Amino acid sequence: MWGQRDTARRNAVLAHPAGCPRRLLTTALLLSLLLDPAILLLREHQDLPALDQNASLHVTFDPKTMTLRWDCRENITSGECLMTMHKENSRVKKGIKGKECRCTFQDHSLHGGVSFTVKVNIGQRWISETLVYSNPGVEGTAAQNFSCLIYNADFMNCTWAKGQAAPNDIQYFLYIRDSKKKIERECPRYLSDSGTHVGCHLQNISGLSFYSYFLVNGTSQKSGIQFFDSVLMLKEIERYNPPNNITVYCNESHCFIQWEKPRTRKTLSDREFQYQLDIQRQIVVSGDLGNKYNFPSPHPRATHTLKMRTADARRAEWGTWSQPVQFGSEELESSLVHVYVLVVLGTLVCGLMLGCLFKRFLARHSLFPPIPRIKDKLNENQHVDHESLWEKFTHDAGKADREDVLTVEEVAQGPASG
């Protein structure tokens, strides 16, 4: 475009003869049009400040306060801070307020590695610097399987396990920081396994707010230990007690159950709870119903057993069951007991009668045994050795008729002498 305009202007100048006043005026006008853009461009370059390309913002990060800081410069007009979590692959961006030279983030888990980027505008030029916050130490030495549980509204237990690559002399320490007040405190009472801290018990958690930051770091003489951290919502780790003052009223056709919401760490409305009733079957009742439940139960009714437990309305993380509450008709129960007793007694009587009959049958067989039949050996054994039989018969007969024979011999007597 500028080249076409210059050609047109040169042609206009050549079209007029030299020395004409009109030509001089046209020449002056052309010179002014050509010089104005050049002058403006020169002024624009003169207004830009000379920046040091090797300048550093000297970015630092304080994990206790989650604050990012850098060197201040008077001519910084705007900027932003960016926090990138490596493990979750998520980002958090914050703008810089006024001429502040810092950014403060909410508590986040840092053990997976985090990168911080500061980007500031200096004289209409952006300068950025990135700081990597890593987790130093040997991989696998950090505490694992970390969890916390609030119970009875005032107590909290936190547990963890020893890292798989942790040395034998490892010792862990737990620090809890309130995310709102930024007040940090160490575990007052550790739970140990073979001398190593693997848990913490707190009897007073009134100083903790809605979110809390938990940090477990370790020490060892043999190797560097990585840390583990987590941000927990206390409402999500609280297990509620069973309802209070459970009562049951019954009429001819229905039963009415009423209770009071349990005491919790923070005061909650009725709609923040849900209840589970176990009356022969399990029923879930919302707290919006005013802590009561009505169900049909015509008279006469058997004795029922009621148990209840509580959970948050948004999560079915149930607490412990309440003590059983019995209700119903005792007369009907007693009549049923009588029926059961009669059935049992009838069964016993029948069993005794059958036993006596069986015993009598056995005794009769023992008193009158069956008469044995004569065995016919001759018919059973058709082939008989008659000679052997006769020899046996004669031999036995000779034994029976054997007699002793006495022989008497007469002796002659001689004449007597005179």
Question: What is the total count of domains within the chain?
Answer: 3
User: Which structure tokens are listed for 35?
Assistant: 């010089």
Q: Are residues 258 and 223 in the same domain?
A: no
Residue 176 to residues 71, 143, 189, 266, 294, Cα–Cα distance (Å) = 31, 15, 13, 19, 45
Average pLDDT, the chain: 79
Helix (H) or strand (E) holding 29: helix 21-47
Q: Of the candidates 307, 305, 300, which has an alpha carbon nearest to the alpha carbon of residue 334?
A: 300
pLDDT value at residue 338? 61
Those residues of the chain that have pLDDT short of 50 are 1-20, 37-53, 331-335, 384, 390, 393, 397, 400-401, 415-418
Residue type, 380: E
Q: Of the candidates 95, 70, 64, 72, which has an alpha carbon nearest to the alpha carbon of residue 82?
A: 95
Q: Are residues 255 and 292 in the same domain?
A: yes
Decide if 368 is inside a domain. no
pLDDT value at residue 41? 43
Domain boundary among 93, 113, 133: 133
Q: Are residues 201 and 278 in the same domain?
A: no
Sheet holding 67-69, edge to edge: 60-62, 67-69, 102-104
Q: Are 69 and 81 in contact (CB under 8 A)?
A: no
Residue 397 to residues 159, 392, 402, 406, Cα–Cα distance (Å) = 109, 9, 9, 22
Residue type, 7: T
> Buried b / exposed e across 333-354, counting CB within 10 Å, b at 16+?
eeeeeeeeeeeeeeeeeeeeee
Decide if 184 is inside a domain. yes
Decide if 377 is inside a domain. no
Q: DSSP for 370-392, please give it.
A: PPPPPP-HHHH-----HHHHHHH
Q: Are residues 249 and 323 in the same domain?
A: yes
Domain boundary among 331, 366, 390: 331
Decide if 175 is inside a domain. yes
CATH number at residue 181: 2.60.40.10
Q: Are residues 302 and 261 in the same domain?
A: yes
Please state whether the predicted TM-score (pTM) of the whole model is above 0.75.
no
Q: φ, ψ for residue 49 (rounded to 5)? A: -75, 155
Q: Are residues 148 and 109 in the same domain?
A: no
Q: Are residues 259 and 184 in the same domain?
A: no
Measured between alpha carbons, how far is 306 from 329 in angstroms, rounded to an integer?
A: 14
pLDDT per position as a tens digit, 233-257: 999 999 999 999 999 998 888 899 9
Q: Are residues 308 and 281 in the same domain?
A: yes
Decide if 85 is inside a domain. yes
CATH number at residue 110: 2.60.40
Q: Are residues 129 and 184 in the same domain?
A: no
pLDDT per position as a tens digit, 21-49: 566 666 665 656 555 544 444 444 444 44
Decide if 393 is inside a domain. no
Expressed as residue numbers, the domain containing 112 is: 60-133
First to last CA, the chain: 220
Domain boundary among 100, 133, 166: 133
Decide if 416 is inside a domain. no
Q: Are residues 65 and 105 in the same domain?
A: yes
Decide if 65 is inside a domain. yes
Q: Are residues 227 and 156 in the same domain?
A: yes
Q: Are residues 265 and 314 in the same domain?
A: yes
